[in-house]
Structure 1
Amino acid sequence: MHKDLFDRLERFYDAVPRDGAGAEEYGGLVLFVRDGAGFPFYARPRRDATEPPSLADVNAARERQRELGLPEAFEWVHETTPALLPVARSAGLSVLEAPLMVLDPAALPDPATLSDVPVRVLDPESPDFAAEVAARRAVAAVAFAAAGTARGDAGPAERDAAIMELDVAALDEERVRIADGRRISVLAATPADGALASGMAMRVGDVAEIAGVAALPAARRRGLGAAVTATLAQELRAAGTELIFLSAGSEEIARVYLRVGFRRIGTACIAEPAAVIA
């Protein structure tokens, strides 16, 4: 059963970047290079490779990423490509081993029971859509700058300072992807404080990944992350999504997702150059 599950995840991981990026092959790796502005993709193992990625493959992909001004980023599932972990570390990359979790639909709670802050799904036809997308991104930027689940000082003021105007192409892309079911975006907000938490999901067929779940540090410990995740999962299930998964940034964060019905099935590896200490 797990082999079939991991195969489905590999097909998803390979399909999502191809929707907005070109693919360049470096031995056992494929590097996704986005055409135009937007999220800079990563390199990951080729689905059709007969051998695991080598150190030479990793170095070649990194050289190309530097040439293009892209982050030197690599992602893979450890259970599918276990040989890549020691190779990545030997290349000087720091590897985050993130809990890879899949939803048990029977354990999904009602999002309204998880927090006192309402969560709403973004509507591309709403006149407030552009402002809401900008707010979602600003919440994530502030939240991920202070990763974890601990409360902090950064709140609505820092969110507002982080809001950036989106170009027409980015908004059009968001509208199209939401309208055709490839993306779902949500905000948890109050009339007084505005957006406090956000998240999104990417969908390909009957498989979807929940990502970017974030709560402003000043609004943490109020069930917002769980409510956002449950709302996304509920929407995805209603749309006919069979397999819903996510990667938790730490064991501590994984406990939030356990409350929402997610169960660990493996490890998602995310690698980048190790920090240099002066």
Structure 2
Amino acid sequence: MDVARAAALDRLERFYDAVPRDGARTEDFGALVLFVRDGAGWPFYARPRPDATRTASLADVTEVRARQRALGLPETFEWVHEHQPDLLAVARSAGLAVLEAPLMLLEPERLPEPGTLSDVPVRVLDPGDPGFATDIALRRAVAAVGFAHGGTARGEAGPADRDAALAQLDVAALQEEATRIVDGRRISVLAGTPDEGALASGMAMRVDDVAEIAGVATLPSARRRGLGAAVTATLAHELRADGTDLIFLSAGSEDIARVYLRVGFRRVGTACIAEPAAVI
């Protein structure tokens, strides 16, 4: 591994550990740390402890899973494969299914203008806008529909499904997103037209000069119009303008990674996300 890539992955590791700490307490289990959210909101996960001197063992994983079940939390684990290469086999031996997601880093000189990627306008959510709360709800509703119909293929789900999803949103999660945008730790964007409304969305989480772009989603009926790429580019430009030095993301598949290649990202590693294997 070259020096620059290793340094970038070290910065990402510190970012991953820092992001949940302002909204969760921690519990240590051997070489793992479990983040437990205080109050309502999206649940966190377990990760390797930054100061651990060994790879997490099967016993560590089993103990964390028991604690997650006791707390009513999803049995999820996240880590960067290049930092913990032996954890993949341990997780699988514990009966976990592991998504190996391309971990991608922005090369700023290759970042295109959003308008060259799609003719649908993308806007950054503004706390000073009277419709700010509604925009946050729309962002999350688009994401809910988009991720419920994964992949990049066009489909039937569209604006009606988005509007139906609004009623199912977690109010605490909406409030948390608003707070994070106001204090500068999060940027959220929407892409859409006056006739169709919100069609795609995304957000970025920021800690100091490192940010992760996440939650990029497009309604299936609006796919293949360059919206995911335009949303990603808009977020990257906004982050760069605010002085963010290192911008990364994890792609859910190789097909999705190809979208991000168009926006100037390159693969630098693998983000592993583990959860119990589905029972057939």
Instruction: Report the TM range for the smaller structure's normalisation.
Output: over 0.9
Letter in 2 for 1:53: A
Residue 50 of structure 2 aligns to a residue whose secondary structure is coil
User: Does 1:60 find its partner at 2:63?
Assistant: yes
Q: Deviation of residue 109 (structure 1)?
A: 0.1
Native 8 Å contact 2:153 2:224 kept in 1: yes
CA deviations on 1:134-178 (whole Å, 9 max, x unpaired) are 111111111111100000000000000000376775444333321
Seen in structure 2, the aligned counterparts of structure 1 residues 76 and 107 have a Cα distance that, compared at 3 Å, is same
User: Does 1:261 find its partner at 2:261?
Assistant: no
CA deviations on 1:99-146 (whole Å, 9 max, x unpaired) are 000000000000011111100000112111111111111111111111
Seen in structure 2, the aligned counterparts of structure 1 residues 86 and 187 have a Cα distance that, compared at 3 Å, is same
Counterpart for residue 75 of structure 1: 78
Query: Across the two proteins, how many residue pairs are aligned to each other?
Result: 277
Q: Work out which of the residue numbers 73, 84, 103 in structure 1 matches 2:106.
A: 103
Native 8 Å contact 1:140 1:198 kept in 2: yes
Residue 187 of structure 2 aligns to a residue whose secondary structure is strand
Seen in structure 2, the aligned counterparts of structure 1 residues 9 and 163 have a Cα distance that, compared at 3 Å, is same
Matches within 5 A, 1:1-278: 1-164=4-167, 170-277=173-280
In the alignment, the residues of structure 2 paired with residue 53 and residue 256 of structure 1 have an alpha-carbon distance, to the nearest angstrom, of 34
Aligned identity (percent) is: 77
Q: Deviation of residue 180 (structure 1)?
A: 2.5
Letter in 2 for 1:109: P
Seen in structure 2, the aligned counterparts of structure 1 residues 240 and 111 have a Cα distance that, compared at 3 Å, is same
Native 8 Å contact 1:134 1:164 kept in 2: no
Residue 204 of structure 2 aligns to a residue whose secondary structure is strand
Native 8 Å contact 1:130 1:166 kept in 2: no
CA deviations on 1:168-221 (whole Å, 9 max, x unpaired) are 754443333212221000000110011000000000000000000000000000
In the alignment, the residues of structure 1 paired with residue 90 and residue 21 of structure 2 have an alpha-carbon distance, to the nearest angstrom, of 25
Residue 212 of structure 1 aligns to a residue whose secondary structure is strand
Seen in structure 2, the aligned counterparts of structure 1 residues 167 and 53 have a Cα distance that, compared at 3 Å, is closer
Q: Deviation of residue 66 (structure 1)?
A: 0.5
Deviating above 2 A after TM superposition, structure 1's stretches of 4 or more consecutive aligned residues are 164-176
CA RMSD in angstroms comes to 1.2
Native 8 Å contact 2:140 2:169 kept in 1: no
Structure 1's unaligned 5+ residue stretches are none
